[in-house]
Structure 1
């Protein structure tokens, strides 16, 4: 290419870091622009009371393909640990292990709920409801009893609207969890009492999930990537032979190709030539759910033996409580205190968004009491606010996304990828694999193979 950079990557989240690293390995001149003062995006870790904590609950799925795992092990060595999952979910007034165990479901759930689950499982094959919404799909898969006690409350809490107003697409993305409940329901219906052993696990770095993105960033720098932090992109202008990317502090970077992990609505707002009015209106309707993270320091050793607790209970806005130190085996973690991370999905206009730290810690205390979890010996609390976390798959979002995505696909020299860039909420390993495919689609002469990238995107859409 005849421009100053072969590739400009916008956003230093996991997908952006991998794309920059892989492209540099192929010999391309790469600059990566990140608005924050650190790399990793939501995948970065923060330190609270001397303990590395994630921004929410992150894991690297055990289904991660071996080729990707091999590359990550090369970067991280033994620090990438295979861990056994020790999660729980609150159903009614009982805590159940995740993944579900049939014997535990049958033993712990109330007889009335078990009877409804068993009845739903016997009529599952005869249920022919519509599949127009999240609610209708989930009820057709697992039955009304489990929808009302688990999935309906979770949907309301996570996306801020009832399942009847959420696209069926979101249910299809939860097929693994739905299948687990379906198996459990059928087993209960047939009164299978023998213990079920379910293989489960995940990969997790010894020093918090942020160690993974830090390793990717180091590898990128070692390969020649110019990573520029505190460089918030506020304009992207496409010319015939190059793309010009400008930042708020006045810097201008030119390149032959841009990989953007910006949220699609943001890219539509700052791009020139601008999209059509129809595309701009569609982009404005693509919304995200925000997230409050409340870190509570517990004095007196570990608070529990579980890595996370999922909480469908509608009486509290807390969706999940995790204990970061339980995700890993790290002798450096202190013995005399621990940290809890409470996740609260919300809108930035919700009252909870404006609460101070101590009020949010009190809310966590109330959640512990409501759900039968141990009390916390609180000695410190701090919070973080993330503005764009969950894409909201409301009914009809597909039409708006198709309109904006069609515009983005037609822009020469710009490729959108990653969770935000494609308005998806997939596992980390899928975002990493997507970045691999994007770089593989760059030809040796620097031109981008749109056919190869389209095939890769279609494959991901079906996974």
Structure 2
């Protein structure tokens, strides 16, 4: 199936992109470079989505922990180096994770694991590793897949508690698809476990990543500038409320009454939102299926610490079920930026939740107190708090509850049949992807637009299947 773009007309665009996150920005830029007339619509007053950065008392911070995978395809890294230059820094990872009562480095070091973990847990890990060849095949749940790959000891100590914290449900109620798409995240534990059972010492892997000098938002800001320089019409504070498809074009209208037309639309909107605003509308069955596709919310608590760097680590992952805080990062440790202040730093605490949870309604100071309690529970240093502010994000992670595949397939099948509309990005495809994967998805979508102006649905389907089979790097 192919979609033919309309030719240039007054007030019309070859491509309209909805959503100025990483995928939307990259798609807009790439399409404009190919000579297309492109409009990019974003409901917020800034571009970047969750990849945007902002200032907290003069310190540039991100919305959670972001990194760029050093193993991303060379074409993508070449483009980003060309845009960012020396500001794209290659960094060595200095993360930690709390296992029992101990902090362990990420990636894991077998010698550290053998010294710090309790003997009882070490014995269970070693036993699980020795019996790995005899474990039953994967089941149809996240818990079953992870237990079959890393054993019950590590599942009970790390993956089970993290699953409940991030997704708000037991691993037995989470789809196996989530575990299969993140196979690489399980590998670092398996390497450490094998090293323990064979008496080896040393680091299981050497972690690294790319990160912009002034914050992760520099990447999307630079993409936005490149898109503008290439002729993209970027409109912020333009919330789309209707996507109407006709035989010859697509009309996109916004809440402030603006309307533009184009030959093709790339939508990064959440699938349930697209189902609600698209015309012709989907069937009642598809609407009901879209309503069952849910997202996890997130509270980000930014605590300003007086006195310089808090720790030397970039992030601390916290499976401990006694606190809802899942990760605490220190943005200045992700980069080498001489412009960062030396007399203060900022901690970013991530609290996955539902918007109906009690924690969602806490005020800023109560949330900062919760962070203090977490530091005390986990043995992390205290903070000399001088300021706190928070951000609440309603849709962060898609929830892969067991059986979600049926609902997603129903909605996705409907979306694939909409002429002149292509869904992509984390929200548009209901995927938990990394930034580099979102950018690659945008590249593939633009590459599917032929030189004669037709959108190649076959090429895009092949690209989507390739993306579906890909896995994320270790957390």
Give the structure-2-normalised TM-score: 0.96
Q: Distance in 2 between matches of 1:359 and 1:177?
A: 33
- Displacement of 1:129: 4.7
Which of residues 151, 163, 173 is equivalent to 1:155? 163
Partner of 2:206: 199
Kindly report which structure 2 residues correspond to 1:89-168, keeping only aligned pairs within 5 A, or say none. 89-168=97-176
Partner of 2:215: 208
Partner of 2:473: none
| Unaligned stretches of 5+ residues in structure 2 | 1-5, 471-475
**Which segment is superposed worse, 338-347 or 125-134?**
125-134
| Runs of 4+ residues over 3 Å off in structure 1 | none
- Displacement of 1:163: 0.2
Which of residues 41, 60, 65 is equivalent to 2:68? 60
Partner of 2:367: 360
Which of residues 379, 382, 402 is equivalent to 1:372? 379
- Displacement of 1:211: 0.2
Partner of 1:425: 432
Which of residues 163, 175, 183 is equivalent to 2:191? 183
Q: Distance in 2 between matches of 1:177 and 1:188?
A: 19
Q: Distance in 2 between matches of 1:410 and 1:86?
A: 46
Instruction: Output one character per residue of 1:121-161: Cα deviation in whole Å (capped at 9) or x when no partner.
Output: 11111111541100000000011110000000000000000
Q: Distance in 1 between matches of 2:137 and 2:85?
A: 50
Which of residues 267, 276, 284 is equivalent to 2:283? 276
- Displacement of 1:64: 1.1
Which of residues 421, 424, 430 is equivalent to 1:414? 421
- Residue 81 of structure 1 pairs with residue 123 of structure 2: no
- Displacement of 1:22: 0.5
Give the structure-1-normalised TM-score: 0.99
Q: Distance in 2 between matches of 1:293 and 1:404?
A: 30
- Displacement of 1:443: 1.4
| Unaligned stretches of 5+ residues in structure 1 | none
Which of residues 304, 311, 317 is equivalent to 2:324? 317
- How many matched pairs? 462
- Displacement of 1:190: 2.6
Q: How big is the alpha-carbon RMSD for the aligned residues of Structure 1 and Structure 2?
A: 0.8
Which of residues 30, 43, 52 is equivalent to 1:44? 52
Q: Distance in 2 between matches of 1:276 and 1:104?
A: 56
Instruction: Output one character per residue of 1:336-394: Cα deviation in whole Å (capped at 9) or x when no partner.
Output: 00000000000001000000000000000000000000000000000001110010000
Which of residues 6, 20, 24 is equivalent to 2:14? 6
Q: Report the 3-state secondary structure (helix = DSSP H, G, I; strand = E; otherwise coil) of the residue aligned with 2:305.
A: strand
- Residue 348 of structure 1 pairs with residue 355 of structure 2: yes
